[in-house]
Structure 1
Amino acid sequence: MRLALAASWWFGVGVGIASLFWLAHAFSFQDAMPPWLGWIAVALLSAYTALYWALALGLAHAVTRKASGISFAVHASAGFMIAEWLRGIVLTGFPWNPLASIWLDAPHVAQGAAVIGGLGLSGVTILLCGLIAAVTRGDSLRPLIATIGIITAWLAFPQKGTVADTSIPISVVQGNISQSDKWRPGEADAQLMKYMALTKAPLSNAPRLIFWPEAAITEPLDIDLALRRQATSALSAQDLLFTGAIGTTENKGLTNSVFVLDADGAILVRYDKAHLVPFGEYLPFSNILGRLGMSRLVPGNTDFIAGPGPRTLNIRKLRAGVSICYEIIFPAAVIDPENRPAFLFNPSNDAWFGFGGPQQHLAQARLRAIEEGLPIIRATPTGETAVIRSDGSIAARLPAHQAGRLDAFLPSPADPTQYSLWGNAIPLGAGIIVIAIAGLRRLRRNHRA
């Protein structure tokens, strides 16, 4: 057991450091947080996420001691799905970089997420790895036969065709505004003018949906009509602007919000981010950590106020869901299931994270598109800005660190997927049942002994 826990934990640490290195870059934008602290944060977060690898493999070892390699593979898969689900909810959750992301360049495999989600697809990946490991150790031919059987069945599973795009024109704007400039005093007007210039109407007069990134406007938008009218002066008469901006609450708190504005600057609907980023949008345990010199990575000392959660915005016969930045990484928590939207808008600010983080963030948005059967419009200030179809494929994409605008047509939603109806019940239920049966068998054997 000690060997199983140690090996899996150290492996998890290595995976964490290799894939979370971009987090250190975020510490270079806050004077109160020295840059070297970022690498400590990477190491600590990697050590924490590695605990879930240790939990998964340790649990499998505990219930399959002295069993065959194929048995260990099955139970490692089950334990991994349970551990990954816990990683997504404990301490507000951090389900970043699910293992299922590796299949996005193999669309036939990735489409399985529409049934069993990224959680289930990650479990299948562990199962295949375990079976291959059993084959290389020469346990028997059974793991090889099982591996071939699973791959054959997966490839034979019928795939849905790509749904045709709608006729609704969209424009997604990327301002290429770096994080070091974003909150600099006196820069707000110049940045707004840049977004307006990139938004300027094309030759076609068809009404557009226009998307700006998270916090494209860094002032409270709901209390400033003049600012709203200035922002929408680049719109044609029937255009709608979806923009990230700061909002206010009745108690004078601040929110990270998306506002939908018409060409006159009127607020049609609004969404306030619900799943806030620890240390980014609020400082957890602020009474303790504040005294130790810790602060948020975002400038300012006021924590953001969380909104009520996923909701569908009904605008001119359109049904839009919104997941701001970090919210898109939480499976089965991005839409209102009682009022399914036709698409998701995912404004984000990935300028914090240099190289690595934005690409991983885009991959997770693609997984959500497959799981929910919904297109996702992703707007960021420096990349990765993209239009994602409901099958997870990328319809259009802007190069990173380049100002520009994507002009495309709004992709259509697919029919509700099995995952959108059942969420994690299928993979998590399967994992719990497999581990529970193995545990009961082990207890029975011990009792007989």
Structure 2
Amino acid sequence: MGLAAEPTGFWLLAWVALVPLWLVVLQSKTHKISTLPFAIAWGIGYHGTVLFWITGVHPMTWLGVPWLASLAIALFCWIFITFWGVGLVIVWAKILSIVSRQIPSQNLNHLLTRVLVGTALWCSLEWFWSQGSLWWSSLSLTQSFGNLVILHLGQISGPNTVTAALVAVNGLITEAWLINRLKNKIEIRTKIIIYLLPILCFSLAHLIGFYLYSQPLKSNPETALKIGIIQGNIPNKIKLYSEGWRQALQGYTTGYITLADQGVDAVLTPETALPFLWKTPARDQSSFYQAILEKKVVAWVGSYGQEGNRISNSLFTVDSEGNIISQYNKVNLVPLGEYIPFESILGRFINRLSPLDSHLVKGDPNQQFNTPFGQAIVGICYDSTFTRHFRRQAKTGGEFILTASNDSHYSAGMLAQHHAQDVMRAIETDRWAIRATNTGYSGVVDPHGKTLWKSQMDTYELHIGIIQPQQTQTLYVRWGDWFTLVLLILSIIAIAVNLVFQTIFRVSD
């Protein structure tokens, strides 16, 4: 399952990779084995592989962290977050094992009930896990951005619709595998139906996705926007120091002027492209701000804001007169890197262990980002993984997506997965997306998830993307993750019906 996600992108593996664990769960009673070690192994295999890019934060010697301490921090973060995902797998395996023991028969109704329960349970757990601060590796991520057709199921009920299809097909393959081992205990016709079910489920999911994928994109040249993207390529190890400041001001000022001269409507810069407080004299004296006053082209500036006595990671809309007309503060901050969980309790302890600045203020989840071209949907870096964040902004009138990120301290695997996250958000909301990152991958993505342009890694680049603001609302934007709730309700009903019939048959016997 880990190999199905980017950067390897063998997405087809995801449709069978859960089968071994599901087999263990269903056979745990008859074979008298514990599901725990198998769930842990599977969880480490998936989440550990997908999240291995976290170790790319090492070495942090440029922050003053000793080499060994840096390695320890990187390994701790990777192991902790991996096991946070492993917890989901353990809970799923344990509950499904209990349910399977109550419905052990191999007839078609019991088979479908187990698959329904397993699917509903996994989707419910992913929903629950995604409500916290540590979330990245949904099973749906394995399909982005190689399988754009199936990703369109996200327009129906978000990424959990894709996850549901994956888990259901894996479950049906498992049941077909088990049925095949029961010789002369089930009718041939029923066996054939069971063998066909995973193929039918896989095909139906892709047919629905293809229908949504084949819908023509709306195009109106009069409302199209030419957006300039600057990938500054300022290494983190110098970014916060005088050398980095000089490179940033020079690179972004030159890039802004070049793009403005080419007739763009606006210019987007990456997360904290200009690493100083934007509302201070440092802004007014900067060459970038003077370029805005001269060229009079709207700029979306990644910089720092101030809320009271605390700092925010922000994106500003600066109009042609140099005025700030909107400010977005990053909502989903990185734990320990940008804020301290339970700061009143852990703050002093963590400050002693780590020199990292972990005191940014969270943005209001309900903020809106108005621009001269209409309301935009904004995500800064880690925001990209939280689909509800983009849905909320699309529902309140966001017409296009702007994401600004700085992934320079991670490996190429993270950059690919981050791009994959934004591809899913574009499809789910039916919006054009513009991505500006510090060192890659910047890009332009259409509402069908097609990447029209993607930058190289660790290069300074300028690009002009043409996007189409739109106000359509997908079923997911309107209703949210309703499909998971439906699956949960149907599972409860199916379990109850099966238990009632089993009780009736026992009494009659």
Count of equivalent residues: 443
Task: Name the CA distance, whole Å, in 1 between partners of 2:206 and 2:503.
Answer: 43
Structure 1 gaps, min length 5: none
1:173–1:198 Cα contact (<8 Å) kept: yes
Kindly provide the amino acid, as one letter, of the partner of residue 265 in structure 2: R
Residue 173 of structure 2 is aligned to residue 132 of structure 1 = yes
* Residues 285-339 of structure 1, C-alpha deviations (whole Å, 9 max, x = no match): 3443642666568x43x60111211433222242212111111211122233552
State the SS of the aligned residue for 2:279.
coil
Counterpart of 1:242 (choices 300, 308, 316) is 300
Relative to total residues, which structure has the larger helix share, 1 or 2? 2
State the SS of the aligned residue for 2:387.
coil
* Residues 176-208 of structure 1, C-alpha deviations (whole Å, 9 max, x = no match): 112212123443132221111122234866342
Kindly provide the amino acid, as one letter, of the partner of residue 175 in structure 2: A
Residue 146 of structure 2 is aligned to residue 105 of structure 1 = yes
- What's the offset of the Cα at 1:216? 0.5
Kindly provide the amino acid, as one letter, of the partner of residue 73 in structure 1: V
Flag the 1:447–1:223 CA change in 2: closer, same or farther, 3 A.
farther
Task: Name the CA distance, whole Å, in 1 between partners of 2:268 and 2:260.
Answer: 18
Task: Name the CA distance, whole Å, in 2 between partners of 1:411 and 1:34.
Answer: 44
- What's the offset of the Cα at 1:419? 0.7
Flag the 1:262–1:414 CA change in 2: closer, same or farther, 3 A.
closer
Task: Name the CA distance, whole Å, in 1 between partners of 2:259 and 2:96.
Answer: 58
Kindly provide the amino acid, as one letter, of the partner of residue 174 in structure 2: A
Q: Please name the residue that 1:161 is paired with.
A: 216
* Residues 247-300 of structure 1, C-alpha deviations (whole Å, 9 max, x = no match): 112x22111111111244321211111222111111223443642666568x43
State the SS of the aligned residue for 2:216.
coil
1:376–1:389 Cα contact (<8 Å) kept: yes
- After TM superposition, the structure 1 = structure 2 runs for residues 115-264 of structure 1, keeping only pairs within 5 Å, are 115-139=156-180, 140-157=191-208, 158-159=211-212, 160-164=215-219, 167-202=224-259, 206-224=263-281, 226-227=283-284, 230-235=287-292, 237-249=295-307, 251-264=308-321
1:233–1:263 Cα contact (<8 Å) kept: no
TM-score, normalising length from structure 2?
0.80
* Residues 341-364 of structure 1, C-alpha deviations (whole Å, 9 max, x = no match): 111111011112122111111111
Task: Name the CA distance, whole Å, in 2 between partners of 1:41 and 1:432.
Answer: 33
* Residues 75-105 of structure 1, C-alpha deviations (whole Å, 9 max, x = no match): 211111011011101xx33331221122232
Q: Please name the residue that 2:90 is paired with.
A: 54
Kindly provide the amino acid, as one letter, of the partner of residue 488 in structure 2: I
Residue 327 of structure 2 is aligned to residue 288 of structure 1 = no
TM-score, normalising length from structure 1?
0.90
Q: Please name the residue that 2:115 is paired with.
A: 73
Task: Name the CA distance, whole Å, in 1 between partners of 2:40 and 2:105.
Answer: 22
State the SS of the aligned residue for 1:216.
coil
Flag the 1:202–1:194 CA change in 2: closer, same or farther, 3 A.
closer
Task: Name the CA distance, whole Å, in 2 between partners of 1:60 and 1:132.
Answer: 16
- What's the offset of the Cα at 1:405? 0.9
Counterpart of 2:79 (choices 43, 59, 70) is 43
Structure 2 gaps, min length 5: 1-27, 181-190
Q: Please name the residue that 2:387 is paired with.
A: 331
State the SS of the aligned residue for 1:351.
coil
- After TM superposition, the structure 1 = structure 2 runs for residues 293-442 of structure 1, keeping only pairs within 5 Å, are 299-300=356-357, 303-334=359-390, 335-336=392-393, 339-413=396-470, 415-426=472-483, 428-441=484-497
Task: Name the CA distance, whole Å, in 1 between partners of 2:349 and 2:441.
Answer: 36
Q: Please name the residue that 2:45 is paired with.
A: 14
- What's the offset of the Cα at 1:70? 4.5
Task: Name the CA distance, whole Å, in 1 between partners of 2:259 and 2:240.
Answer: 30
Task: Name the CA distance, whole Å, in 2 between partners of 1:338 and 1:386.
Answer: 24
Task: Name the CA distance, whole Å, in 2 between partners of 1:360 and 1:9.
Answer: 23
State the SS of the aligned residue for 2:34.
helix
Kindly provide the amino acid, as one letter, of the partner of residue 38 in structure 1: A
